[in-house]
Amino acid sequence: MKPSYFFSVFILLSIFSCQPEVESEQEKPNVIIIFTDDQGYQDVGVFGAQGFKTPHLDQMAAEGIKFTDFYAAQAVCSASRAGILTGCYPNRLGIHGAFMPNAAKGLNPEEVTIAEMLKNNGYSTAIHGKWHLGDAQEFLPTRQGFDEYFGIPFSNDMWPNHPQQGSVFNFGPLPLYENETVIDTLNDQTMLTTQITERSVDFIKRNKENPFFLYVAHPQPHVPLFVSDKFKGKSERGLYGDVIMEIDWSVGEILKTLKEEGIDENTLVIFTSDNGPWLNYGEHSGSAFPLREGKGTALEGGQREPAIARWPGHLEAGKTISTPMMNIDVMPTIAEVTRSQLPDRIIDGKSVWSVWTGQTDESPQDAYFFYYHVNELQGVRYKNWKLYFPHSFRSLNGREGGKGGLPVPYEYLKFEEVALYDLESDISETNNVADQHPEVVNTIKVLADQMRARLGDALTDVKGTETRDPGRIER
């Protein structure tokens, strides 16, 4: 036999022996994000809930990590959802506020969601619940990386039964979607939390042999509040407490299914809320105590959310982490743990896996930036400091909220000057210490100017012009 034959075989064997080991589908961790709507910072037992119990969420925290300084990307529905699903500040994507029905706009299909990122890595994907990133067909979840969709396309109050229907709004029917087909028009949302839970459990069972990403986006406890008979009247807090108890039950059903199917230790579960409580609805809203204000503001009560992560064998049980982080960091963190490729575009979030696993307690971000309205930079979180620039914000200003599902009007207050708070000693933001710490104020102002150069600021744009609905900003 010719020597060249042996040489060729040797070369081929050498090549094959150097190939990286192929990761089996079963070794890729499953990922579940449970995302509630308008749930306040205090509205989980381990965060101090009053008048109702959340045993499953409390157990999830006992078996995982509780995050005390976790922020939504913005204090309003659509923008916050854009942040967690793309890893970007929503204003980079031209998204602000909450999309109305038939708005003819949504999350640009050219953006890459967590679902698309994981689908490219062999994952099955599903969303059960509220989408709210565009209700036109080209913006639906099935066009954004999700194999399956069951839920509603926008907020559950965008229907003819809104208390301000006719005087302020003129909403059409609330559709219930199966993928891209409307399968029902909702006149009663009593069983929606149960249906979302049942769909989620079924998806887990069907995909236990392959990696999956499940996004459970509960429409509750956004008003109008609905709860099934199994939890109606169960809490001391009234209907709002009943609703949270049913969400907690839903979490328990998902965690129980993971254990029963033998995939508990191969599944990362993340729980948080899209923004703080809608305070002017009073007894039908949650609580951000001890934080200041709520939904629709850049203050702590608007954007600091209850958050828990659980992954047995990978995350330390019973740990509490106070390092600041934001939901824009979720996508890069998932990319790291699943060894998925982040999209080839600017992503504002950074992986916080090293913080979750205790390798460091330093945030990978220099600071977090709090935008609202169209593109107003209103505040900055820097280490233990929170600085606000002059802007107006809505407030009950000490008054009680509404009763029976009806809101009361907000007042509008204003930061006339720059305000600085030490959140470590003043979590309720009551003592402005800007005059005592001019060096901190100046440091944060420099960071803010750098962000304005990247994303603009409708209040004080670096070019002296207002930045309105900029679309994706690649600076």
Of 341, 371, 337, give the one whose Cα is nearest residue 460. Answer: 371
For this structure, is 77 an active site residue?
Answer: yes
Distance from C-alpha of 465 to C-alpha of 25, rounded to nearest angstrom: 51
Distance from C-alpha of 39 to C-alpha of 294, rounded to nearest angstrom: 10
Q: Are strands 411-415 and 304-310 parallel, antiparallel or unpaired?
A: unpaired
Task: State the burial class of residue 153 (Cβ atoms within 10 Å of its Cβ: 0-12, 13-18, 19+).
Answer: buried
Contact 82, 72 (CB under 8 A): no
Distance from C-alpha of 90 to C-alpha of 203, rounded to nearest angstrom: 29
DSSP helix, strand, coil percent of the chain (3-state; round to 5): 30, 20, 50
Q: Which residue is catalytic, options 77, 162, 222, 391?
A: 77
| Overall residue count recorded for the chain in this entry | 475
Task: State the burial class of residue 359 (Cβ atoms within 10 Å of its Cβ: 0-12, 13-18, 19+).
Answer: exposed
Contact 45, 53 (CB under 8 A): yes
Q: Which residue is catalytic, options 56, 96, 128, 132?
A: 132
For this structure, is 132 an active site residue?
Answer: yes
What the block records as the tokens of 227 is 């709860």
Active site residues: 77, 132
